[in-house]
Amino acid sequence: MTKFLVVLMGLFLFPSLGIGQLYQQNWRDYVPTPSSLEWMPVKTVRINIHFVSKSDGSGNFDEETGRKFARDLVAAANGLLANNQPMNLPKGNQTPVVPIQIRYELSGDSAAPDGIYFIRSDSDYRFNRSDISTIFDPSIFEKYGKQKGKVLNVFLFENTDGSGKTGGIGASDWAKVGGLFYHFKNYQRWAWFGAGLFNHEIGHSLGLFHTWNENDGCDDTPMNENCWNVAEEGPCKIPSNNVMDYNANENAWTPCQVGKVHLALSNPGIPRDFLVPDYLQIYDSLDVFISPGDTLLVSGNRFLRGDLILGRRSVLIVRNCKIVLPPSGRLIQRRKSSILYEQRGKIEMTR
């Protein structure tokens, strides 16, 4: 994705990050703490997948193989999200590896309950990495998008120049991923091959930028040579493995990147509207407990999945954010515990 698109994406994203936001917050308030993940339960992003073929069905997966591929692609991408890796760069870095706490779920409608769609159209079969206008073109989403604004629509394309170049784009409510069928057809590369790229493009949709050539707002993602893979000598001896570079792994997310995505997913509008509503998440109840005598400061929105329990004499400071309890969740305060609300901080009960 080029610089032009970054500007474009900034325009798309502005309404959800600026107008209507209740709090001015920082990504640092949204980095999951490994020892207390009950404060940051997994957020599930609803997506669907469209295969774009020519009118005769050629040029992309057939329906049977495509359905299996799409499900495996989501599973492989979720596998990467569940196994965040240490950063390769900068050399000798001590960047913490935090759980990403994001997953995808295919979300369908009456036309396709599994959330997997097949588009056959010669005129819409337009995706060419050598012609950037075909990449930017939002018409495929405008024409064929499903559950717009509630589900992130992902379109799988092939390069019309017949090349195997992989790549794509992530806008605020749709993404395109190109080249996966080529690698399946020619090299029998299955869904795992595209999982990093898939996360990269959705990373753009969730507000992340490239790290190698521009200021992405993160100090823990160094600019780099953007090497695809390891070389014997030279600058590619240690290539980046960050999800927002182009490389063979794309499996490392830094705390800043994870924090930025959770910040975007914790405030009103898109992309938060893509989430499976918290009250529908089928997870074990995750009670949150503040130990007796402890003081805890919370300064980023938190959507809990269980009771919030304050131990004896504990203090909870809710600053410049809201804590939301699930429908069955209770706020339990043991003796002499207290809650301090600062800068419009509040606790909300879901009904």
* Residue numbers at the binding site for Zn ion (CB under 5 A): 1
Write down the least CB distance from residue 197 to Zn ion, Å: 9
Nearer to Zn ion, 39 or 127 (CB): 127
Write down the least CB distance from residue 318 to Zn ion, Å: 36
Write down the least CB distance from residue 11 to Zn ion, Å: 17
For the chain, helix, strand, coil in percent to 5 are 30, 20, 50
Q: How far apart are CA 351 and CA 349, in angstroms?
A: 6
CA-wise closest residue to 332 among 305, 306, 298: 306
Nearer to Zn ion, 195 or 325 (CB): 195
**Which DSSP helix (H) or strand (E) runs through 141?**
helix 139-144
Write down the least CB distance from residue 159 to Zn ion, Å: 16
Q: In Å, how far from its chain's centre is CA 215?
A: 19
Q: Which residue is nearest to Zn ion (CB)?
A: 1
Q: How far apart are CA 290 and CA 295, in angstroms?
A: 8
Nearer to Zn ion, 1 or 152 (CB): 1
Nearer to Zn ion, 1 or 321 (CB): 1
Nearer to Zn ion, 202 or 275 (CB): 202
CA-wise closest residue to 80 among 103, 107, 98: 103
Nearer to Zn ion, 151 or 244 (CB): 244
Give residues with Cβ within 8 angstroms of 350, minimum separation 6: 278, 279, 324, 325, 326, 327, 329
Radius of gyration of the chain (CA): 21
Write down the least CB distance from residue 229 to Zn ion, Å: 17
Write down the least CB distance from residue 120 to Zn ion, Å: 28
Structure tokens at 256: 């800043």
Write down the least CB distance from residue 240 to Zn ion, Å: 13
* CB 164, CB 182: distance < 8 Å: yes
Nearer to Zn ion, 172 or 266 (CB): 172
Q: In Å, how far from its chain's centre is CA 285?
A: 24
